[in-house]
Amino acid sequence: MRNIKIINEHWEFIKDSKSTTVNLPHTWNGKDGQDGGNDYYRGTCIYKKNILKSELPKGEELYIQLDGVNSSAKVFFNDKEIAVHHGGYATFRAKLENILDENEIKIEVDNSPNDFVYPQQADFTFYGGIYRDVSIIAVPKSHFDLDYNGAPGIMVTPKVNGQNADIELQAFTDGEVLFEIIADSKTIKTISANGKNPKTCVTIENAHLWNGTIDPYLYTLKASLLSDGEILDEVSTRFGVRSFEINSRKGFILNGREYPLRGVSRHQDRPDIGNALLSEHHKEDIDLICEMGANTIRLAHYQHAQTFYNLCDEKGLIVWAEIPYISKHMPNGLENTKTQMTELICQNYNHPCIVTWGLSNEITMGGASDKNLISNHKMLNDLAHTLDKTRPTTLAAITMCSMDEEYVHISDILSYNHYFGWYGGNVSMYGPWFDNFHKKYPNKAIGISEYGCEALNWHTSEPVQGDYTEEYQTYYHEEVIKQIMDRPYLWATHVWNMFDFAADARSEGGENGMNHKGLVTFDRKYKKDSFYAYKAWLSDEPFVHICSKRYVDRVEPVTKITVYTNQNEVELFANGESVGKQTKDKYPFFYFEVKNEDETKLFAKAGNCEDTAVIKKVDTFNEEYRMAEEGAVINWFEIDTPAGYLSINDTLGDILATFRGKLVLLGTLPMLKKVLSGNEDKPKDKKDKKSGGGLSAAGFKINKTMIEIAKGFALKRAFSMLGAKFTKEQILGLNKKLNKIRKKH
């Protein structure tokens, strides 16, 4: 029988010739990978551990298993190299031979940049280290395969057949295997198979279905390798019996009924420890996601821990699993995408939570016409179908990529990453864009793989795109939720992101090194108001929530109070007096106008649920609520904004809507003339016709969607994105010109 020993304690860690003792999981980028500057250490560090033969588990053959080492690893046993692995998120193993009384394990871990291991360019930190468990597995000479892509040694494929389920079973070993299916701690089926990688099938009558969050029932498969009736080795896995379909018109269908997938994406990292998580961290994440009412998670942008997939199985959460083929296509990375996809599927095949394999994310940032990129995706698509005939493939396309590109139609199903209303454009653009896609490609299932905007502890009564306030984030998500609710054909929608996460290259929102699009803060301690917008929409757990609790001091005499609840009726009180009672119409968002005088205690009641908040009348705006832009070219108080007239705080679209504003803007930014002329898609000569014609940017043909996105940027924000191309004096001079032009109403 196999014996497993986790060896996480007391490793010597060597970085820059300095040695310390650490326990695993561990990363060397827990601090410098989260503080901004894009200067975190990327290089090679060494982990060493001495282990006595007497301390090793007993068995005829021993393997070392590493559950996650980022991003490349060389493993040595007694100074002999026994494994090289490229890819920071999958399990891999190596056999230990020539075992001595005293042994040394040495692992060289490297997260330095290269041109062949993904990811190399992405909006998150690539934490170096051994950040998941390391264990020693002892087995007899005859055992379930430990050399096959880090896989568990058995594969189970359930197929619903009326009230029953046909279960295909396969073991990766050589010999006689006894399969047992266990339900509620009782063996309900046994069957044997013999030979090389033996395969068989058994039927479960009146099968208990794995039915998402409603009833995530799990069976257990136990497989025993026998020799003359004696058990040599034994492995087990849980599995669920379910059927699903992804319909381009009806969305996701689970076990024969429509089951709209509405949820979040998840990055796994945390303050100070990066990706070096413990089981309790995974549990806290899953509990928060379930509290919100989500029924699906996109596990971005890499293979996550087995602990988390197991929790998704148990909670009934539908999962999109993907590899880190992201942002920048690398011609030398083809084999690495193949390896990572193979490991992802082989290691996670048995999880009922997973319904699709993701080929890539925003990989066309440099353009979608690269033939090598196209062939890489076709290879991955074929590979996924070869390894798993039961699940479709998908990918996450970026806004700039036209819906007509060949790349977009390689995978079986599709989702898009759109940030209308944050990176330009307007939040109202979601519905029309997806309606256009659905009309043009009615047989292609389409979803939203990313959408979101950033929020920190900044506040305002007049939220605008790009202000990083909690109030704009709530407005944004309210509006997107409304558009999603009206479009059941969307097969899945995933908020970007459930949690704030580290991206060391970022310098936004007043806190460097972070992406703040989370519905929950990086430390998991604060649920932003937008979290409760989703809870009101998705959760059945009764609650009521008053928004903007951190926005106490307010200057306006009458202020807007937003309340979220999943109850049918809510009443708001101000200092004990009813402000009004509202009944749910279609959307679970309620808005009240409240007099702002002295101190007002707010009390909301919905059914048996209650919530409180406090606001105070002040004469001047509390600057602690306004984002302090580090290194900003212009501060807010330097910009004149006369009522009824334009300023650089207005959007490009609003400025261009006036004749004089258009003249001023095009005189300052002549590159806009071609883009905004309306002729951007028309080829100008025969050569242009052959290439598809039109103006291009970053490898993409300029299209109407990109133009509308550009029009949604505030001019001040556009200047900040252009960096140092314009001086402060030039920008303020332009503002003076705009101040003389009336806004169009």
Tens digits of residue pLDDT in 463-474? 999 899 999 999
Q: Which residues contact 281 (CB under 8 A, 6 or more apart)?
A: 270
Separation CA 612–CA 481 (nearest Å): 25
Confidence of residue 650 (pLDDT cuts 50, 70, 90): confident
Give dist(CA 360, CA 292) in Å, integer: 27
Active site residue 362: yes
Q: Which amino acid is at 522?
A: F
Burial, 498: exposed, middle or buried (Cβ in 10 Å; 0-12, 13-18, 19+)?
buried
Rounded Cα gap, residues 157 and 386, in angstroms: 14
Upper half-sphere CA count for residue 90 (Cβ side, 13 Å) = 31
In the predicted structure, residue 217 carries a pLDDT above the cut 50: yes
pLDDT for 533-585, tens place per residue?
Answer: 999 999 999 999 999 999 999 999 999 999 999 999 999 999 999 999 999 99
pLDDT of res. 627: 87
385 cis-preceded (ω within 30 degrees of 0): no
Window from 99-113, 195-209, 389-403, 666-680 with minimum mean pLDDT: 666-680
Given this model, what pLDDT does residue 730 score?
A: 85
Beta-bridge partner residues of 573: 578, 603
Instruction: Give the rounded distance of the alpha carbon of 557 from its chain centre.
Output: 41
DSSP SS3 for 548: coil
Predicted TM-score of the model (pTM)? 0.92
15-55 pLDDT, tens digit each: 999 999 999 999 999 999 999 999 999 999 999 999 999 99
CA-to-CA separations, 448 to 124, 357, 578, in angstroms, rounded: 20, 15, 40
Task: Give the H or E element holding residue 393.
Answer: strand 393-398
Q: Is the pLDDT of residue 283 over 50?
A: yes
Burial class from Cβ neighbours inside 10 Å (0-12, 13-18, 19+) for residue 104 reads middle
Please pick, among 176, 362, 511, 680, the residue that the annotation labels catalytic: 362
Q: What is the mean pLDDT of residues 644-669?
A: 86
> What is the mean pLDDT of the segment spanning 712-736?
77
Q: Are 422 and 453 in contact (CB under 8 A)?
A: yes
One-letter amino acid for residue 484 of the chain:
I
Q: What's the one-letter identity of residue 181?
A: I
Tens digit of each residue's pLDDT (9 = 90 or more) over 234-256: 999 999 999 999 999 999 999 99
Separation CA 425–CA 410 (nearest Å): 27
pLDDT band, residue 674 (cuts 50/70/90): low
